[in-house]
């Protein structure tokens, strides 16, 4: 049984790049977020806290767009953060359909403790590569992401 896709050389090159990108992204995500369990946080909960910390209060829709999570999943994440008194929700007076999510003082204090450790962990991961490779990686992944987004928006 062959262990390689029998398509064209271009097919195999694209699949090889995709698999390597996915595996590397997964390995980096696992390593970068391992410490969150120490604080009782999931990756999605951390993403919400981090977005609110840097951007201020946001609607659930804005948070969903910012952290790339579905609104259904985000509702449960915010429910759990609210239960733990890390965020609060309030209706926007000018549009009662919209819920604004805000960090509580407890949430502010927690993300203030977690974020420096998170950044240090990411820096440690990328220190495994030479600085020029990190720059090249950032440039290539940005270019790929923008090209896919542009293609997808023109397909609509």
Asked whether residue 37 carries a pLDDT value surpassing 60, the answer given is: yes
Domain presence at residue 108: yes
Domain span holding position 15 = 9-155
Distance CA 132, CA 116 (A): 24
pLDDT, tens only, 54-98: 999 999 889 998 988 777 789 999 999 999 999 999 988 888 888
Reported as half-sphere exposure (CB side, CA atoms, 13 A), residue 4 has a value of 10
Domain presence at residue 1: no
Q: How confident is the model at residue 1 (pLDDT cuts 50, 70, 90)?
A: very low
**Residue 89 in 3-state DSSP?**
strand
Question: Which residues fall within 8 angstroms of residue 31, CB to CB, at 6 or more apart?
Answer: 121, 125
Asked whether residue 10 carries a pLDDT value surpassing 70, the answer given is: yes
Q: How confident is the model at residue 121 (pLDDT cuts 50, 70, 90)?
A: very high
Phi, psi of 32, rounded to the nearest 5 degrees? -70, -25
Instruction: Look at the chain and report how many structural domains it folds into.
Output: 1
Domain presence at residue 4: no
Distance CA 40, CA 37 (A): 5
User: Residue 66 is part of a domain; what is its CATH number?
Assistant: 1.10.10.10
């Amino acid at each position: 049984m062959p262990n390689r896709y029998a398509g064209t050389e271009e097919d195999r090159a694209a699949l090889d790049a995709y698999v390597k990108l996915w595996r590397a992204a997964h390995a980096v995500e696992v390593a970068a977020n391992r410490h969150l369990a120490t604080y009782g946080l999931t990756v999605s909960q951390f993403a919400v806290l981090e977005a609110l910390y840097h951007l201020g209060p946001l609607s659930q829709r804005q948070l969903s767009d910012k952290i790339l999570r579905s609104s259904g999943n985000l509702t449960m994440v915010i429910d759990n953060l609210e239960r733990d008194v890390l965020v609060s929700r309030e209706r926007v007076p000018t549009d009662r359909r919209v819920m604004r999510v805000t960090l509580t003082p407890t949430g502010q204090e927690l993300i203030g403790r977690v974020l420096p450790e998170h950044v240090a962990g990411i820096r440690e991961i990328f220190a495994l590569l030479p600085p020029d490779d990190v720059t090249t990686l950032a440039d290539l992944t940005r270019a790929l992401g923008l090209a896919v987004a542009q293609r997808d928006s023109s397909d609509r």
